[in-house]
Amino acid sequence: MRLPIYLDCNATTPVDPRVFAAMTPYFTEIFGNAASTGHAFGAQALEAVNTARQTIARAINARPEEIIFTSGATESDNLAIKGVARLRGRGHIITAATEHKAVLDPCRCLAQEGFRVTCLPVDSHGFIDLDQLASALTPDTILVSIMHGNNEIGTVQDIAAVGALCRARGVPFHTDSTQTIGKLPFDVEALHVDMASLTGHKMYGPKGAGALFVRQSCELKPILDGGGHERGLRSGTLNVPGIVGLASALDVATNQLAEDIAHSRHLRDQLWSCLKNVAPTTRVNGPDPLETPESRLPNNLHVSVGDFEGDLIGSALCNVAVSSRSACTSGSTEPSHVLKAIDAPTTGVMSLRFGVGRFTTDEDIAYVVEQLTSTLNAFR
């Protein structure tokens, strides 16, 4: 065990050594521009991109031509949402209150441009109500965007049901699947998804490399003008090392998906059992991981601790990297919009998001448990 211990894998993950090895030649040896196909350097780069596109498509049951490479999930979300809206020119968009800002902010931008936006509420565990979604759909609805797994509280929505409803009404369906592709099974056909955002750094791949699945029947207006790359939907020189790393990361994750899920759940559940024992008033935000494990990201634990000072928790976790803050973000008077949406306490509490990962060990969790137990018991 090495200190500090990293438990913030919902924010980012380290690059898997296998992924790093796959990327390395494309920095110094196969360094050509994938658009420069008139010579061997460019042709080799293009071949790597095409292979990566096939790998990603195979992993999510899509066609290679339906994979559009981007700089990451934020760009993918913007391309999906603004791309549909600006092609149509007007209409109605539906999303949810607990979406990532990469979805909510583009929707707010479009609202300022005259589009009508409905933001669905969620229940105390972060789930939308399918009946409310059905009631919100109108003849002028042009897009529904509902995330698959929540980045803060780990709630996994039933996007297969959302997708089926949208398909029946003829409405394109986009999902921000940043937290789930590479962590949970994901099949665009079974889930009835028309567009899905993904990124490398959430699944042990590189930062700055992402993709958007765009079903062939789904039309978008590009948000970047330039050389017409990526079926004309995303101009810009392709990040070949990043694309290779993204594909490699997803390939590794797909091949050991069951192992990773079991490993993460085991460690996450150990941590939650400990917290419940040493701080009984601790509230889990999102679905209870022990009662409904399928409804939560396997590596995520988000809790609110209300009966101890935040500084005390911080001292217990001084050698542990977690997403740790009060319910109000530093430098802001606004609480987390996700905690607000599920009606979680936002004053007098400390919120902690633990994100265990592929390289987290039993010893790491034992250390965290020991630190929390000894510190909180001493305080008592």
Distance, CA of 225 to CA of 52 (rounded, Å)? 24
H helices, E strands: number in the chain: 12, 13
Cβ count within 10 A of residue 131:
9
Distance, CA of 330 to CA of 328 (rounded, Å)? 6
- ∠ CA 114-118-122 to the nearest 5 degrees? 155
Q: Per the omega criterion (within 30 degrees of 0), is the bond before 4 cis? A: yes
* Structure token pair of residue 189: 């056909």
Distance, CA of 8 to CA of 97 (rounded, Å)? 23
Is 328 part of the annotated catalytic residue set? yes
**H or E element in which residue 176 lies:** strand 173-176
Q: Rounded to 10 degrees, what is the CA torsion of 158, 160, 161, 166? A: 130
Intra-chain end-to-end CA distance of the chain, in Å? 29
- ∠ CA 87-90-95 to the nearest 5 degrees? 90
Is the alpha carbon torsion for 69, 70, 75, 78 positive or negative? negative
Rounded to whole angstroms, the maximal C-alpha distance in the chain is: 72
Asked if 356 and 271 touch (Cβ cutoff 8 Å), the reply is: yes
Identity (one letter) of the amino acid at 124?
S
Distance, CA of 140 to CA of 45 (rounded, Å)? 43
Cβ count within 10 A of residue 232:
13
- CA separation, residue 121 to residues 97, 136, 242, 341 (Å): 6, 11, 36, 7
Is the alpha carbon torsion for 60, 66, 70, 75 positive or negative? negative
| Candidates 107, 274, 318, 328; catalytic one | 328
What are the phi and psi torsion angles at 20 (to 5°)?
Answer: -60, -40
Active site residues: 328
